[in-house]
Chain A
Amino acid sequence: MLGIISNRLLSACLMMLAISVVAFILIQLPPGDFVDSYVNHKQQGGVTMTQDEVAQMRSVLGLDRPMYVQYFDWVGRIVRGDLGFSWEYHRPVSEVIGERLPLTMMLAFTTLVFTYVLAIPIGIYSAVRQYSLADNTFTVIGYIGLATPNFMFALVLLYLAHVFFGTSAGGLFSPEFQDAAWSWPRFVNLLAHLWVPVLVLGTAGTAFQIRTMRAMLLDELNKLYVTAARASGLSEIRLLLKYPVRVAINPIISTIGWELTNIISGAPIVGIVLSLPDTGPLFVDSLLNSDLYLAGALILIYCGLVIIGTLISDLLLVALDPRIRMGGKSSWCFTRHIILKYTPQFLVFCYRSSGLR
Chain B
Amino acid sequence: MNQDILLEIKNLYICVELDGDSLPIVEDVSLSLRTGEILALVGESGCGKSVTAQSVMQLLPKQLKIESGEIKMNSHKQGKIIDIANMNPRGSEIRKIRGNEIAMIFQEPMNSFSPLHTIGNQLMEVIRIHRKTSKSEAKEIAVEMLDKVGIPGAARVIDQYPHELSGGMRQRAMIAKALSCNPTLLIADEPTTALDVTIQAQVLTLMQGLQSEFGMAIIFITHDLGVVAQVADQVAIMYLGNIIEQGSAREILKDPKHPYTVNLIEAVPRLGRLEGRKALIPIQGSVPSLYDRPVGCPFVTRCTRVINNRCEETMPRLISMSTDHQVACFLYNPSEGESS
Contacts and interface: CB of A to CB of B under 8 A. Distances in A.
B103 A228 contact: no
B90 A236 contact: yes
Given A233-B95, A326-B161, A247 B104 contact: no
A227 B89 CA distance: 12
B126 A323 contact: no
A246 B116 contact: yes
A247 B92 CA distance: 25
A224 B95 contact: no
Interface stretch (B1-9, B64-72, B105-113, B319-327): B105-113
Interface in A186-238: 223-225, 227-236
A322 interface: yes
A225 B114 contact: yes
A232 B125 contact: yes
A320 B100 CA distance: 30
A285 interface: no
Interface in B48-62: 57, 59
A231 B129 contact: no
B98 A230 contact: yes
Nearest to B110: A224
Contact of B129 (A223, A232, A243): A232
Given A231-B59, A235-B95, A224 B125 contact: no
A237 to B, nearest CB: 10
A95 interface: no
Contacts of B108: 224
B177 interface: yes
A137 B28 CA distance: 42
A99 interface: no
B99 A232 contact: yes
A82 interface: no
Q: How large is the interface on B (under 10, 10 to 19, 20 to 34, 35 or more residues)?
A: 20 to 34
B163 interface: yes
Nearest to A220: B114
Given A227-B59, A323-B161, A233 B111 contact: no
A321 interface: yes
B310 interface: no
Contact of A321 (B100, B116, B129): B116
B71 to A, nearest CB: 15
B115 interface: yes
B164 interface: yes
A322 B98 contact: no
Contacts of B104: 228, 231
Contacts of A247: 114-116
Contacts of A224: 106, 108, 111-112
A233 B98 contact: yes
A82 to B, nearest CB: 46
Contact of B106 (A227, A246, A320): A227
Given A225-B111, A227-B106, A233 B99 contact: yes
Contacts of B57: 231
Contact of A231 (B98, B116, B125, B161): B98
A231 B89 CA distance: 11
B98 A243 contact: no
Contact of B114 (A236, A243, A326): A243
Of A223, A228, A235, A320, most buried by chain B (CB within 10 Å of CB) is A228
B135 interface: no
A290 B2 CA distance: 92
Contacts of B90: 236
Contacts of A231: 57, 59, 98-99, 103-104
Contact of A232 (B98, B115, B118, B164): B98
Most chain B beta-carbon neighbours within 10 Å: one of A227, A232, A243, A320: A232
B182 to A, nearest CB: 14
Interface string A237-262: 00000110011000000000000000
Contacts of A234: 95, 125, 129
Contacts of A326: 161, 163-164
B96 interface: yes
Given A231-B59, A326-B161, A326-B164, A320 B116 contact: yes
Interface in A295-346: 320-323, 326
Interface in A124-166: none
B130 interface: yes
B112 A322 contact: no
Contacts of A243: 114, 117
A233 B161 contact: no
A183 to B, nearest CB: 46
Given A224-B106, A234-B129, A236-B90, A229 B161 contact: no
Interface in B174-213: 174, 177
Given A232-B99, A233-B98, A234-B95, A225 B113 contact: yes
Contacts of B126: 232-233
A225 B112 contact: yes
Contacts of B129: 232-234
> Which 7 residue pairs across A and B have the least CB separation, nearest first?
A232-B99, A233-B99, A233-B98, A224-B111, A232-B126, A228-B112, A231-B104
Interface of A: 223-225, 227-236, 242-243, 246-247, 320-323, 326
Interface of B: 57, 59, 90, 92, 95-100, 103-104, 106, 108, 111-118, 122, 125-126, 129-130, 161, 163-164, 174, 177
26 contacts: A224-B108, A225-B111, A225-B112, A225-B114, A225-B115, A227-B59, A228-B104, A228-B106, A228-B113, A228-B174, A231-B57, A231-B98, A231-B99, A232-B98, A232-B125, A233-B97, A233-B99, A233-B130, A234-B95, A242-B114, A242-B117, A321-B116, A322-B161, A322-B163, A323-B116, A323-B163
